[in-house]
Each structure stands twice: as C-alpha cells, then as structure tokens.
Amino acid sequence: MTTVRPPSDPESDPRVKAVFDDIRTTRRTDFVNNLWRSLAFDPPLLERTWNDVKALMATPTALDPLVKEMLYVAVSIANGCSYCVHSHTAAARAKGMTDAQHAELLAIVSLAGRTNLLATGLQVPVDAAFDAAASG
Amino acid sequence: MTTVRPPSDPESDPRVKAVFDDIRTTRRTDFVNNLWRSLAFDPPLLERTWNDVKALMATPTALDPLVKEMLYVAVSIANGCSYCVHSHTAAARAKGMTDAQHAELLAIVSLAGRTNLLATGLQVPVDAAFDAAASG
Amino acid sequence: MTTVRPPSDPESDPRVKAVFDDIRTTRRTDFVNNLWRSLAFDPPLLERTWNDVKALMATPTALDPLVKEMLYVAVSIANGCSYCVHSHTAAARAKGMTDAQHAELLAIVSLAGRTNLLATGLQVPVDAAFDAAASG
Amino acid sequence: MTTVRPPSDPESDPRVKAVFDDIRTTRRTDFVNNLWRSLAFDPPLLERTWNDVKALMATPTALDPLVKEMLYVAVSIANGCSYCVHSHTAAARAKGMTDAQHAELLAIVSLAGRTNLLATGLQVPVDAAFDAAASG
Amino acid sequence: MTTVRPPSDPESDPRVKAVFDDIRTTRRTDFVNNLWRSLAFDPPLLERTWNDVKALMATPTALDPLVKEMLYVAVSIANGCSYCVHSHTAAARAKGMTDAQHAELLAIVSLAGRTNLLATGLQVPVDAAFDAAASG
Amino acid sequence: MTTVRPPSDPESDPRVKAVFDDIRTTRRTDFVNNLWRSLAFDPPLLERTWNDVKALMATPTALDPLVKEMLYVAVSIANGCSYCVHSHTAAARAKGMTDAQHAELLAIVSLAGRTNLLATGLQVPVDAAFDAAASG
C-alpha cells in the first residue's frame, strides 16, 4: 500500500529518467529502489531529494562511508521509519558492516534510547560544563 | 528544575560513592555530571545505568570510540533529548570531533530526518531486495 | 493483525450503530473505515473519539477543510502513524488535494523535519523576539 | 517564553472563570497551573481540554488513580514533553508515588524505550500468536 | 521482512539455548517469540537484553505485574513500535487485562498524547511548584 | 546553552555575510534569528539550509504562505522542537495568523496526536480503500 500512485512508466519523463540514470551510475547497479520510484510522482521533489542524498552519502566527505550509513540507520531507527531502517541497513551491509558491527550499532542506539528517556524523565538540568558557547 | 530531589550528600551512600568513584576513575576526571547526580536518588538504578554505559561506551569494542559517541549524539537528537545532546556532543568533542565532523554529523542526521518523513509520508513499500531473511 | 478483536457484528450494539450511522450520514458514504470498527470494542471510547473528530474535522470552522486535512496528514507523518497517514491522505485527496499540493505538503513536512533536527542538534537558544508574552 | 500571550486577567472571562473554579474545586487547591492559564487564550479549547482531563483523570474509573497518573508520566516522557513530565510527576507524587515506585517507573519506561528501538532496528516480524483478531 | 537473518538453528549455540531455556522456564511456556529469535544473531546482545527484561518484568518488584505491563504498552505506543505494542498488549492480556482496562489504557495514552502536544505547542513555562529540587 | 560556539563576528566570512544579507533582503528585516547565527559555524551547511528554506517558504508556490507556515508549526510541535515551535509560530503570526486560527491549529495537532496514538495502540489494519496504487 502507498499514498501516491507511482507512475507506471516513470522513465518516460526525461527528468525522472535523468535521476534514475544517475542513481544507477552513481551506485553501479541496475536497481532503483522504491523510494525513488514513489518520488517519481513529482519530478522536482525527486531531483532535490536525490541531489541531497548524493551530495552527502555518495560523495567522499569528512566521515567514512560506512560510518555515515550507520548514522543514517541510527536516526532511522529512532524516528521509527521502517522503510529507511531496511534500506539503510542493507546499504550499510553493502558497505561492509559485519554482524558484530550491526549488533554494536543496535546496542548503542538502544542504550541511547534508554538514557534519553531517563534524562527526560528526571528532567536533568544541563551542566554548565557542556555549554559550547562558554568554553574558552 | 527537576523531577527528583538529588541527595544533598550523595556519596554518603556507599553504593553511590562506589559508582561516582568508578566514573571518576574510568573517565580520568573529577567531574561527575548531573545525570549521575540525579540517578543517585535510587542507587540500584544508578548502578545498572552506569554499568551499561561503561560496558559499551568506556570499554574498547568493535567500533571506534568517536564513532560510538557520534551515534549516541545522532540518536539523542532524533529523540529530542536536550540534556543528552549536550552531554554527548561534549563527549564527542573531548574524543576529538572536529567542527567539520560535527557539521557533517548534523547534516546526516537532518538529511535522514528529511527522507524518513518522505518515506513515511509516501508509505513506500519495502523492496524485497532489502529482506535479510531472504538473502543467500 | 490487531491488538483488539473487533466485534463481528458491531452494529448490534445500539451505541455503536448510532456512531456508525452518524459517520455515514456526516460523510455521505456507506464506508466505515477500520479505525471506527476497531474502536467499536469499547462504545464510550468510540463515541468520544468520533464526537471530537466530527466537531473539528467535519464541521465548518475557521480553517479551510482541505487545510485542516493537510495539517492532520502532516502531524500523522511526523508521529509515524502509518494508518493515519493513509486515511488522512485519502481524505485530503477526497477534499481536492492535487498531486502538486501533495508534493508540496511532503516537501514542507520533510524540510521541517530537517530543520527541527538541526535546531535540536545545535540546541539553538530561543530568540527573545519570539516570546509572545513579551510582545506589546 | 511562550507562544501565546496568556490573558492578564483570565477570570474576567466567565467561561475561563468557570473552568478555573472547577479545577480548584475538583483538585481541592487554589493552585491553577500554567497549562490552564495558557489555554485561557481560547476559552473553547480550554473547556474541551479540561473536560476531557477531568473525565478521565479526576473521576473514579476502572484503573487506580496513581496508576493512571503513572501511565500519563510514562507517555509524557516518551513524547518528550518537558512541561508534562514535570506536572504529572508532581501529580503522581501528590497521589502517593514513592521514590521506589518512581525509580521503577523510570526503569520500565527506559527499558521499553530500549527494546522498542531494538525491535524497530531488527524489524522483527509480529508473531501470529499476538494477533487478537485470530484468537479464539 | 527483517534486517538480520535469524540463525536457522539458533539453539545449536549454547548461549542462545541457555537464554531460550530460561525464557521458557520463566514464562512457563514453550513459546519463544520473534524478538528473541531475531536477537539470537548476536548472543551477547540477546543475553543482556533478556537479563534486563527478566529482572524488571518477570521478577516481583514494587509495582504490580499488570501495571508494569501496561506501562510498557503505553511507552511502546508512544514510541510507535508496532512489534512491541503487539507483544506487550498480548502479555498484558495474559496477565489479566480486561477490555475495559485496555480501553482505559488507550484513553489515557491518547489523552496524554493530546495534552503533550498542546503543552509543546503553547510552550508552557514550567510552574515553580513542580520543581522537586525546591520542595521541602 | 548551545552545542556549537557561534562565531563572534560571523559576517567576517563572506559566505556567511552573503547568506545573512539574503535573509535580511528576502524577509525585509534587519533581524537574523539564532538558528542562522548557530549554523554560521559551518558556512556550507548554512548555505544549503537557507537555500532550501528560502526556495520553499519564502517563494510563491502552490500553497498559501500562511498555510505553509502552519504546516511547519504542526510538524515542529509533533517533533518536539522547542526552538522551531517558537520561531515558526512567530512567523505564522507575522503572516496574519489570528488567535482563533492558532487555537484551531493547536486543536487539530492535538486531535491528530490523540487519534495517531489510538490507531497505533489498536494496530488498526489499513483499509484497502486507502491504497493509492490500487485506485483507478
């Protein structure tokens, strides 16, 4: 089930085709996953979204590619996005994440979830030492 | 403001003192931050929480210490825990996170937040290719 | 799958029948969607929920009906309620939401999600200018 | 800071005065907390909100009053509502919640937060045995 | 669909078998639900998670077992964990939760969700009276 | 308190100055609010964020400017971003939102929050009628 009807022949729109081609080239695969197929209902939204994802996730930056993907998984779990947990866990595995690293990722995410709720439940006042604006 | 009254002399309780001493030794600092001071209202909860945090975050494991701290920050942001964002960002800086890495962390977290909401809004069906149980 | 067993013949209960009849009359349709069928396991909860939804969403108020429905979709996405995203997107379409408006709705929701996380990650202090209590 | 300017003399509006009087009578106190003072900017919203809270939280129902208040605290923590965590923790204490019960409440909330994220990260399929619709 | 491939014969690992045996003994059932089967991909994570759940949820503590389970359900709903809502609602029913109690649980959770958003939307300042640190 | 130290003289960086100038010109005000001052610690992140906000929120598009701002407020409330609730409520007021419209916005957001949690608690199956992919 979905809330938009993905176009039956999305690549008949040249803007969609250009994005799909770029996805295939950038990722070196023929596979275009459903997020992009759904977004094809609105080519400008598809373009902007892909450009942002490509610039950060498919381009060398300060952080290691696997670390970036694991951060993406962590946020997707915390936000409860089932699709994104699936797609980015698969991407992390494709980038070399081992079972041990996956288990540790889940352990950290769930530990953070636990202490986040403790701090919120206690309404712990922020220590002055943590204020970046005050540090010399 | 807080929802529990932290004990005025927490270390008069030997269980609290033992945890605080371990925090100071493990982290090589005299500073015991407010989360632990708040948790001191219930020594068993304090002990269990510290033991879990220590085992994962203050002990060598599969992932790099800075990566672990950045994952913790990412989850804390997504969960909207103000205290935890402050404390773990400070911890990540103490472990060497540069401004460029911090900016990239925030960029990934916010990009994930954006595509998480897109996927949820579109109710994108999960691609069969992402099913770990089906992979060979 | 569900966590309550919906009654097999819900309208045999006169309180349930009255609500279902009102839903059909108010919405000018024979279709009673699953949320109401699930809530039928507890007639008072069904009545209170429908009365609140009807008073705000099926009655002329200050805001335009389509705007109200789009606000409902936006919150449902942010809260990650799959059922509600489906039902209220369908309702918005029934009230005339075009593909272009839907795309823009998703663009705003996801942009807000992105800057929400940036502001939370940065722990930006609230500007004094935003305090409604202080404005003249 | 706040997003609405609470009326300086809210009880000059008879609808507001009636709600505030009912709060004081129902709770047997002169104290009207800030949530109601903020809501006074829109008397109908104030009335509907108070009526719902009163019917469920200040009236004998199936569940014990302290249990109801602890459930309220639990949800408020999970939703990250700082004001509500404060107000409902104070209400739970006023209804007799001990430090030990408070610690256990926080332990359960944070344990649930932890396994919630594990299940979401693993995308665990729901066991058929949990389907209420299928049970005999 | 899932993000980890559960081992086909999990109990061939003695650490997994020990946990599964303990689950069966503690719960007096042959049924080991999918969360534990998924976690079996990493025996240490399985052990730690089960030990924590057992210590709090399957051991007599300050709060009543049904109350604990209802708190767990409440948090799972607020966190949007579909699996956990199913598993803990089933557990609450197994511990005696009636339809009336279930309806009231849902009523409280959803009322809290409503006033949480009102307080956040209004950005209500916390009343000084709610500060536990200030109380005598 | 904040997690980054905003530059003391941000406009000495020409990229920051260009963005700040564009904010002032676009919004016809001298006021540059704290979100942008915080983001100035990383000029590329500042540029990308402002460009996205400007393209959607400060440019004529399919939806009415006030409706867009109200959608932004709705998501910010649901995401629990205190800063964003303040800044976008102020922006909505500047675009003409009345007290009555504000009250109705809060009423819809909180009603959605309530039924979102009910649907999640009940785990209501999505009606086939809501599937956009199936509609003719």
Chain B residue at shortest CA distance from A87: B130
Of F80, F82, F121, the CB nearest to E77: F121
B121 at interface of D, judged by CB pairs closer than 8 A: no
Query: Can you give the pTM of this predicted structure?
Result: 0.97
Chain E residue at shortest CA distance from B38: E133
CA distance linking residue D112 with residue E71, whole number of Å? 9
- Give just the sign of the alpha carbon dihedral C28, C33, C38, C39: negative
F127 at interface of A, judged by CB pairs closer than 8 A: no
CATH number of C61-122: 1.20.1290.10
> In whole angstroms, how far apart are CA E66 and each of C106, D72, D127, E62, F117?
41, 16, 21, 12, 21
Q: Which residues contact A87 (CB under 8 A, 6 or more apart)?
A: A33, A35, B126, B127, B130
F99 at interface of D, judged by CB pairs closer than 8 A: yes
Q: What's the burial of C28, exposed, middle or buried (CB within 10 Å: 0-12/13-18/19+)?
A: exposed
The closest alpha carbon to E94, from D75, B39, D77, D135, belongs to D135
B–D interface: beta-carbon pairs under 8 A? 24
In contact, F115 and C49? CB cutoff 8 Å: yes
- Report CB contact under 8 Å: E100, C3: no
Give D100 to chain C, closest Cα distance, Å. Answer: 31
Question: Which residue's entry shows tokens 């100055």?
Answer: F17
Q: What's the burial of A98, exposed, middle or buried (CB within 10 Å: 0-12/13-18/19+)?
A: exposed
CATH number of A62-121: 1.20.1290.10
The closest alpha carbon to B41, from D104, D124, E98, belongs to D104
ipTM: 0.96
CA distance linking residue E2 with residue D132, whole number of Å? 22
Return the pLDDT at E135: 57
A–E interface: beta-carbon pairs under 8 A? 24
Return the pLDDT at C133: 82
CATH number of E8-59: 1.20.1290.10
Of E42, E80, E81, the CB nearest to A103: E42
CA distance linking residue C34 with residue F115, whole number of Å? 13
Return the pLDDT at F133: 81
Return the pLDDT at C96: 97
Mean pLDDT of D76-97: 98
CA distance linking residue E123 with residue D3, whole number of Å? 6
CA distance linking residue D121 with residue B132, whole number of Å? 12
Q: What's the burial of C132, exposed, middle or buried (CB within 10 Å: 0-12/13-18/19+)?
A: buried
Element (H, E) at D46: helix D43-57
In contact, C75 and C97? CB cutoff 8 Å: no
pLDDT digits over B68-117, tens only?
999 999 999 999 999 999 999 999 999 999 999 999 999 999 999 999 99
Residues from chain B contacting residue C86 (CB–CB below 8 Å): 123
- Give just the sign of the alpha carbon dihedral B43, B47, B50, B52: negative
pLDDT digits over B48-63, tens only?
999 999 999 999 999 9
Give E79 to chain B, closest Cα distance, Å. Answer: 10
- Report CB contact under 8 Å: D117, A109: yes
In CATH, what is the architecture of D9-59? Up-down Bundle (1.20)
Chains with at least 3 CB pairs less than 8 angstroms from chain B: A, C, D, E, F
What's the residue count for chain E? 136
Give F28 to chain E, closest Cα distance, Å. Answer: 27
Of A80, A99, A106, the CB nearest to E80: A80
pLDDT digits over C25-60, tens only?
999 999 999 999 999 999 999 999 999 999 999 999
Secondary structure class of C125 (helix, strand, coil): coil
Phi, psi of E29 (to 5 degrees): -155, 160
CATH of B62-120, one of 2.90.10.10, 1.20.1290.10, 3.90.70.10, 1.10.10.10: 1.20.1290.10
Secondary structure class of B103 (helix, strand, coil): helix
- CA distance from start to end of chain E: 54
- Report CB contact under 8 Å: F80, B85: no
In contact, D54 and D22? CB cutoff 8 Å: yes
- Report CB contact under 8 Å: F111, C86: no
pLDDT digits over D19-43, tens only?
999 999 999 999 999 999 999 999 9
A97 at interface of D, judged by CB pairs closer than 8 A: no
- pLDDT band at residue B6, thresholds of 50, 70 and 90? confident
DSSP string, chain E: --SS---SSGGGSHHHHHHHHHHHHHHTSS---HHHHHHTTSHHHHHHHHHHHHHHHSS--SS-HHHHHHHHHHHHHHTT-HHHHHHHHHHHHHTT--HHHHHHHHHHHHHHHHHHHHHHHHTPPPPGGG-GGG--
- pLDDT band at residue D135, thresholds of 50, 70 and 90? low
- Measured in whole angstroms, how far is the alpha carbon of residue E124 from the centre of its chain? 30
> In whole angstroms, how far apart are CA B116 and each of A87, B124, C12, D77, F116?
11, 11, 42, 22, 17
Single-letter amino acid, residue F130 = F
- pLDDT band at residue E6, thresholds of 50, 70 and 90? confident
- Report CB contact under 8 Å: C78, B117: yes
CATH of F61-119, one of 1.20.1270.10, 1.20.1290.10, 3.10.129.10, 1.20.810.10: 1.20.1290.10
The domain locations on chain F are 9-59, 61-119
Give D8 to chain A, closest Cα distance, Å. Answer: 29
CATH superfamily of D62-122: AhpD-like (1.20.1290.10)
Question: Would residue C28 be called left, alpha or beta, if left means φ above 0 and alpha means ψ between -120 and 50 degrees?
Answer: left
CATH topology for A10-59 is: AhpD-like (1.20.1290)
Mean pLDDT of F115-134: 94
- pLDDT band at residue D7, thresholds of 50, 70 and 90? confident
Residues from chain B contacting residue E5 (CB–CB below 8 Å): 132-133, 135
Mean pLDDT of F95-107: 97
The proportion of chain D whose per-residue pLDDT surpasses 70, expressed as a percent, equals 99
Mean pLDDT of A126-134: 91
Chain C residue at shortest CA distance from A48: C107
Q: Taking 50 as the threshold, does the pLDDT of residue F136 lie above it?
A: no
E133 at interface of B, judged by CB pairs closer than 8 A: yes
Domain pair E8-59 / E62-121, same fold? yes
Residues from chain D contacting residue E1 (CB–CB below 8 Å): 123, 125
Chain D residue at shortest CA distance from E40: D122
B70 at interface of C, judged by CB pairs closer than 8 A: no
Interface of E with C in 75-94 (CB under 8 A): 80, 85-86, 89-90
B–F interface: beta-carbon pairs under 8 A? 24
B133 at interface of A, judged by CB pairs closer than 8 A: no
